[in-house]
Each structure stands twice: as structure tokens, then as C-alpha cells.
Amino acid sequence: MQPHFVKGQLGWIEVVTGCMFSGKTEELIRRVRRAMYARQRVVVFKPGIDDRYSTDSVGSHSGMQMRSLQITKASQIPGLVQDAQVVGVDEAQFLGPELVEICEALANEGRRVIVAGLDQDYRGVPFEPIPQLLAVAEYITKNLAICTVCGNPADRSQRLVDAGTRVLVGATDAYEARCRLHWSAEPFPRQQQLPLGENLAES
Ligand SMILES: [Zn+2]
């Protein structure tokens, strides 16, 4: 027997934010899995470069994974949520300002909306639409990572590769978590780039 989704139930927005390597996706997956244990219907979205509604997985750096729907823009979400009681959105910083009113509408319909995303870009600039979502969310969790230089709590993403763009999609090896003291938005020499793993087929 399926539990009923009663229209008009109280919905809300939860935001899980922080820098890279702070465990945002792990936390999103953990919360969605808890809802599944309670036999609630869930759906998780993540932005992708692909132009189709392909099925994909949200995955954390630690290897936790959950099936998700890949979207290219936030406006695709309402047409795909069906009767999900819990709606998760990962990497929300890539979905633009329209995500805010979409999350509001989903919560107003009585759904639990869980959004995970970076609160700052590599220059330390607030990464919209996360600041706007923090303003309208009922619950906010800011995760900290650990500074790779000193081991103190870190809330910033240090870019290690000078690529001239705001985001390097999927290039997690181009960043490190850093504390305020050891983080810099300044340009840096290219030789700071982390070495990539060796491809044995090329040697
Ligand atoms: Zn530090």
C-alpha cells in the first residue's frame, strides 16, 4: 500500500550549503534516503550539460550515490516532480535565479524541498541563487570542510587552476578547501595546478 500525499500539507525549504568538499551532496543523499526509509516518494535533480532529461546519479566525492534526473534549467523541475513528497536539488548554484520561485512553489504545494549548493564561488563572491534561497528557506545547514593547509575548519574553495571562468564543471581536482587565512582569490601561476593521475595507456 502506498501512503497518500495529502495536498495542503505543510511544505518547506532546506538548504545545505558550504564550500567544496564540505559534504553537501552526502548530506542531501542522507536526508533523501531517510525519507525513502519512511516510504515517501522522492525525486532528486542535478544540472547537467546534456539537453535531455537523462537519468543520472548525484554522487559525492566519498562515493555515495543516488539516482537522479539531469536537467539543464530549473524550469524543467515542475514538469518532472509528479507527486514526489520530497524534492532534492544538487549543485543548485548552476541553476540560476529562477530556481528560487520554483522551490517556493514546490514548498507551497506541501512538498519538502532540499537544496544543496555552493554559497561562494572561488573568488569568495556569493553564488546566486544560493543567497536568495537561504533567505526564504526554513532550515539552513552550512557545512564546513577542512583546510588542506592548516587543518582548521574551511569555508572557501581555493581554485588551483587559472581557467578564467567562474565554474569548472566536474573539475574537482582543480579546487581545495581552505580556511579564511589560507584562501586567496588572487591570480596564481599555472604551475600550481595539481598533477593529474598518470594514464598508463599514454606512457
Ligand atoms: Zn588554513
Domains of the chain listed by start with CATH number: 12-143 (3.40.50.300)
Assess whether pLDDT exceeds 80 at residue 199.
no
Is residue 119 within 8 Å of residue 74, measured between CB atoms? no
Cell 536539488 identifies what position?
89
pLDDT band at 200 (very low <50, low <70, confident <90, very high): confident
| Known catalytic membership, residue 14 | no
Count of other CB atoms within 10 angstroms of residue 51: 9
CA atoms within 13 A on the CB side of 199: 3
Report the pLDDT averaged over residues 44-60. 67
From ligand 1's centre to the CA of 180, what distance in Å? Answer: 7
pLDDT band at 65 (very low <50, low <70, confident <90, very high): confident
Q: DSSP assignment, residue 193? A: S
From ligand 1's centre to the CA of 157, what distance in Å? Answer: 12
Decide: residue 101, CB within 10 A, 0-12 exposed, 13-18 middle, 19+ buried: middle
- Which of the residue ranges 55-69, 119-133, 185-199 would you say has the lowest mean pLDDT? 185-199
Cell of 66: 543516488
Is residue 90 within 8 Å of residue 46, measured between CB atoms? yes
Q: What is the pLDDT of residues 171-198, one digit of tens each?
A: 556 788 999 999 988 755 444 445 556 7
C-alpha span between 160 and 20 (Å, rounded): 13
The type of residue at 121 is D
From ligand 1's centre to the CA of 145, what distance in Å? Answer: 11
The pLDDT > 90 percentage for the chain reads 64
pLDDT at site 56:
66
Assess whether pLDDT exceeds 70 at residue 151.
yes
From ligand 1's centre to the CA of 183, what distance in Å? Answer: 7
From ligand 1's centre to the CA of 181, what distance in Å? Answer: 6
pLDDT at site 172:
59
Spot the catalytic one: 91, 101, 109, 202. Answer: 91
Q: What is the pLDDT of residues 89-126, one digit of tens each?
A: 999 999 999 999 999 999 999 999 999 999 999 889 99
